[in-house]
Chains A and B, each alone.
Chain A
């Protein structure tokens, strides 16, 4: 049975709000965790344990003067962060966080949108998000932004290929592109991290590069490019770019939990809670990576993508296909 449209609407609103709340406190968690790994406290002045820090940041960004370079292409300059943020939030809508419930005869889906090709939708929306970065950098009419956005997008496009290939193994094992279907199969068989360990490693590395996180965060390295494509953005427009980046990170972690770590499965039938715990675990690993590894140089980054990651992902997919067909 399908979900009534008004339940879908309420679920969408709820999930988007929770996602934005999680994004806000993820910034705080990341700063505090990075601080602890570096033997210092994170922010702890704004409210007890720094819990009001995201709100302080939000108020600061909103009240900041949103200047624009006088020669900027107006419409594109304003649209670019909106496109990035929108596609980032939209990509989260297909990730299943629960088994689906039936209450009072009405069915509630375990995800906001049950799309039969959900996995391809996530990658497609990610690619459209890259448009936001390119256009933002170009529309700023500044050399730093232009070069920064060129480098960013070359990096993102290169790693996207390896990312898509790395999930081929999961698709072959899961017999479907539909994300809830893949989670169900993991519940029946085993979490796909075991047979697809190499695929997961490729996914992690490709994913970190996709979201411009350390050690692939050359687009954000202040010493290299001032601030890359978001140099000429201030106030809430910059906030939207940050939101796009962090929500891409959350979506990627959610995708990793869904594809490799058996989504919401766990003992005692607490679907969304297990999903959240696994999500936080994956986010912890990403923050841990950021604290530990130095940044890759741009040519090392591109060489790694095309010469190492792409062959490994391809071979992984081929071997998975052979094993599944002949076993």
Chain B
């Protein structure tokens, strides 16, 4: 190692050279880094091909949630008001996004693949009350598009329900 003043001056050279290199910052709103295929973002409720909801209101997701953020009130499917594919449907289904920790246990607990965690992560609101997402909001497809990384680059398997309906 060179004596102390020389090595300090070499340090100055390093800092000086860095001025002329291109910064490695990714500017966020213009460039959004692609998320992984199994990224746990905003929840989505799914429907069958024929339009019936998959969710039968069994509340297994509410029981599985560690932070107790899902509220499910179930109701009977009547012949003239058939909402889901089973006997009951979820009349009220709300998730409190400010309590949710996005762990994905509700997705693992659901026996019907009705709720999954999608890729959307830009879900900021100005009020706490707006953070309680109702069933309509969860059923709807995401408004903002988030780039997703190419699944072929990763050898993690994609869950069955994400490729079949």
* B23 with A37: CB separation less than 8 A: no
A291 to B12, CA, bound (A): 9
* B15 with A39: CB separation less than 8 A: no
The answer to whether A292 and B19 touch (CB under 8 A), given A39-B24, A41-B25, is no
A41 to B21, CA, bound (A): 11
Q: Which of B8, B11, B23, B27 contacts A35 (CB 8 A)?
A: B23
* A292 with B23: CB separation less than 8 A: no
* B15 with A37: CB separation less than 8 A: yes
Q: Which of A39, A288, A291, A293 contacts B21 (CB 8 A)?
A: A39
28 contacts between A and B (CB under 8 A): A33-B19, A35-B23, A36-B18, A36-B19, A36-B23, A37-B15, A37-B16, A37-B19, A38-B18, A39-B18, A39-B21, A39-B23, A39-B24, A39-B25, A40-B24, A40-B25, A41-B23, A41-B25, A41-B27, A288-B15, A288-B16, A291-B15, A292-B11, A292-B12, A292-B14, A292-B15, A293-B8, A293-B11
**Chain B residues within 8 Å of A293, by CB:** 8, 11
Contacts from A to B (Cβ < 8 Å): 33, 35-41, 288, 291-293
Closest to B17 in A: A37
Q: How many A-B residue pairs have CB under 8 A?
A: 31
A37 to B21, CA, bound (A): 9
A292 to B8, CA, bound (A): 9
Apart from A36-B18, A37-B18, A292-B11, what 6 extra A-B contacts exist at CB < 8 Å?
A38-B18, A39-B18, A39-B24, A39-B25, A292-B14, A293-B11
**Chain A residues within 8 Å of B21, by CB:** 39
A288 to B11, CA, bound (A): 11
Measured CB to CB, the closest approach of chain A to B8, in angstroms, equals 8
**Chain B residues within 8 Å of A39, by CB:** 18, 21, 23-25
**Chain B residues within 8 Å of A41, by CB:** 23, 25, 27
**Chain B residues within 8 Å of A291, by CB:** 15
Closest to B22 in A: A39
Closest to A42 in B: B23
* B12 with A288: CB separation less than 8 A: yes
The 3 residue pairs across chains A and B that have the minimum distance between CB atoms: A292-B15, A40-B25, A37-B15
A41 to B14, CA, bound (A): 17
A41 to B24, CA, bound (A): 8
Closest to B9 in A: A292
Closest to B13 in A: A292
* A40 with B15: CB separation less than 8 A: no
Closest to B24 in A: A39
Residues B61-94 near A (CB distance < 8 A): none
**Chain A residues within 8 Å of B12, by CB:** 288, 292
A124 to B27, CA, bound (A): 47
Closest to A287 in B: B15
Closest to A289 in B: B12
Measured CB to CB, the closest approach of chain B to A287, in angstroms, equals 10
Closest to A285 in B: B12
**Chain A residues within 8 Å of B14, by CB:** 292
Closest to B25 in A: A40
